[in-house]
Amino acid sequence: MNLAPASKAKSSRFRSGDRRQAVKKPKINTKKLYLRAVRDAFVKLNPGYAIKNPVMFLVWLGTILTLVFTIDPNLFTPAQENNPQLLYGLLTVILLLTVWLANFAEALAEGMGKAQADGLRSRNLQTTAKKLAPDGTIFAVPSTSLRQNDTVYLVAGDIIPADGKIIMGVASVDESAITGQTIPILKESGSDVTDSVIGGTRIISDELIVRITSDPGKGFIDQMIALLEGKKRSKTPNETTLTIFLAVLGLVCLLSVATLPVFAYYVENPITVPILIALLVAVMPTTISGLLSAVGIAGMNRVVQCNVIATSGQAVEICSDVNTLILDKTGTITLGNRLAEEFIPINGHSLEEMAHIALAASIFDDTPEGKSIIRLAQRHGAKFDYDANQSVKVEFTEENQISGTNLPGGREARKGAVGAIKEFIRLCNGQAPPELNAVYERISHQGGTPLAVCLDQEIYGVIYLKDIIKPGIQERFQQLHRMGINTIMLTGDNLITASVIAQEIGVNEFIAEATPEDKVNVIHRQQAAGAVVAMTGDGTNDAPALTKANVGIVMNTGTQAAKEAADIIDLDSDPTKLIDIISITKQLLATRGVLTAFSLANDIAKYFAIIPLIITSANLQSLNFMNLSSANSAVLSTLIYNALIIPALIPLALRGVQLKYLKSNQLLQRHILIYALGGLIVPFIAIRLIDMLIAATEWV
């Protein structure tokens, strides 16, 4: 195995000129989709399934009762109509159609998700993997036989068999099958942000050794398929609350309609049971009840299309209430791998001397940052002249901010934050040179990270580590501010560097030299002040904060610990993906809201259309301002409209209402005004037209 380094060409998904793309939508067979939805709509007529929707279950029961009266119109009392079987038969058909159309809307939304899932599943076919045994032997096994902690060897052209972590090698990986991103991503071991790979993606250059991190059926693609197919779907708190509200409203309508026979008997105009059922269905909120599940399913489908994996619908819906976004800088706002840009010798030392000490301090550092320092030092002719077997690696920690090498003879080569190195040489009875602060400030003002390099008590120079801000970040932060979201950047960088980055990207606040504890404390302070907090990060040190936030969003380039702590995984590794998630969530909630407003306004209009003509002996004819032809025609017209409005609104339920980057109260006012007024006006026009058609055909 020759694990040679890959080309040094930058291959980030955030290169200048790149554009993020959604998951490639597989071509959907529309005819097959609709035929499956038609079939599933009949399957959902099963009473065990129908009872999950209380309002539509009442319609389902009403359909059975009207069918009984169609068979025997005089079951309890003599029918009042001249031709009751025709009227009752029409009522039965319309009620059945109402339930079926509601089922069709839900089945169509599910079918669209399943079609996308089938497209993803086709990319997740079984492949052959090169499993690496502990003795170094390589043997071919089916990808489905791989388990967590197995090790595989991959070369250019291989499909990565399962999600994993790179433990050796550097390679370019094509992730377009999953993320739609056409530019290859450079993956390498030793990095917190580029050492994870996704099953189903392809190695396009060089070779890797990967440790598998997920068992079969638990990878990224499997999670996306499960979300699209609704296997993990459960009602969100908002959806549950609305379902309970509609159920209570349906019960109120049922009790109200149940009192009408007494009033009708008093005015000597008895109402038959089928007509009472028709009235109940007309005044219940059947429109929103029939479309509620379709709206929720379609919303989650849009979330998955946004290249997001969510642990639950609840996690997604919470995003609509987020008013504070806290972001880690490195790997989130910036590309993640800071690279050595320049050596700046100080204290009278030459560039070659500084490069020699920088190499010695970094020789065991296998992070991308450390490797870049080694490469830069070697370009300046530096060599490691010490016995590696007698040298000891000094690990970097968040507490001391220093790493390096204990060399033979008791010498100590170190590199780290300038303040930490100052403290280190002070303990060694050394003194920082006066030009150190000037170099430190110059690099920091450029938005870079300065690392001081020392040998024992003497500082040799400063390494300029360059951070690259992801393109397009500034515009996205402006959108967040227009949505009323406060942004806070947390970084371990010094105050000057942090302020330069914060000003460039446009965050509201920033906290420099932040520790993992600081991140958690900031979240607690924001939550104590009443904020709903989203935390975006990627590193292991972000995991505690991701857990404490109301919503934790982790980059796809993040560590396994961060992914396990988060609620949402962003496959595009876009720190402002929250904008898209909030937009989808607000669209979902707004769609529910406008359909609810439209449905309730419809009920008011239908009530005034049908009541005056049902109680014909109560001198309510003066309220027949719609001039409907008869009581039976009014009932049929209202029920036909009640049924047909469901398929008319299916496109809106699946697509969602048009959404702009506005605050929640502005969106609510805008949509309620349009749809509530529309819900009052449309039924009067539609019912009148249907009544004219019925009167012309003389059905009843």
Question: Are 337 and 193 spatial neighbours (Cβ–Cβ below 8 Å)?
Answer: yes
Please give the order of strands across the beta sheet that includes 324-328: 308-310, 568-570, 551-555, 533-537, 324-328, 486-490, 509-511
Element (H, E) at 211: strand 202-212
Question: Are 94 and 66 spatial neighbours (Cβ–Cβ below 8 Å)?
Answer: no
Q: Assign 630 to helix, strand or coil.
A: coil
Q: Assign 9 to helix, strand or coil.
A: coil
From 97, 55, 81, 263, select the one nearest 644 (Cα to Cα). 97
Question: Are 270 and 80 spatial neighbours (Cβ–Cβ below 8 Å)?
Answer: yes
Length of the chain: 700
Count the Cβ atoms, other than its own, within 10 Å of residue 14.
Answer: 22
215 marked as binding residue: no
From 100, 215, 94, 105, select the one nearest 149 (Cα to Cα). 215
369 marked as binding residue: yes
Q: In sequence order, which residues have a C-beta less than 8 Å from that of residue 285 and are 6 or more positions away?
A: 55, 246, 249, 250, 596, 599, 600, 603
Tokens coding 42: 């009949």
How far is CA 493 from each of CA 14, 358, 419, 450, 649, rounded to the nearest angstrom?
Answer: 22, 20, 11, 9, 52
Extended strands (E) in 323-407: 324-328, 339-345, 392-394, 402-406
Strand partners, 451: 417, 463
From 508, 465, 468, select the one nearest 334 (Cα to Cα). 468
Angle (CA) 344 350 351, round 5° = 50
Taking only Cα atoms into account, the Rg of the chain, rounded to an integer number of angstroms, comes to: 33
18 marked as binding residue: no
Catalytic residue among 328, 567, 572, 691: 328
235 marked as binding residue: no
* CA 324 to chain centroid: 17
Say whether 387 is catalytic.
no
- DSSP character at residue 159: B
Burial bucket for residue 189 (CB in 10 Å: 0-12, 13-18, 19+): buried
285: left (phi over 0), alpha (psi -120 to 50) or beta: beta
From 690, 683, 663, select the one nearest 604 (Cα to Cα). 683
Extended strands (E) in 512-648: 533-537, 551-555, 568-570
CA distance 188 to 167: 8
467 marked as binding residue: no
Which residues contribute to the annotated binding site for Mg(2+)? 538, 542
As annotated, the active-site residues are 328
Binding-site residue positions for ATP: 365, 369, 415
Q: Annotated binding site: which residue ranges?
A: 365, 369, 415, 538, 542
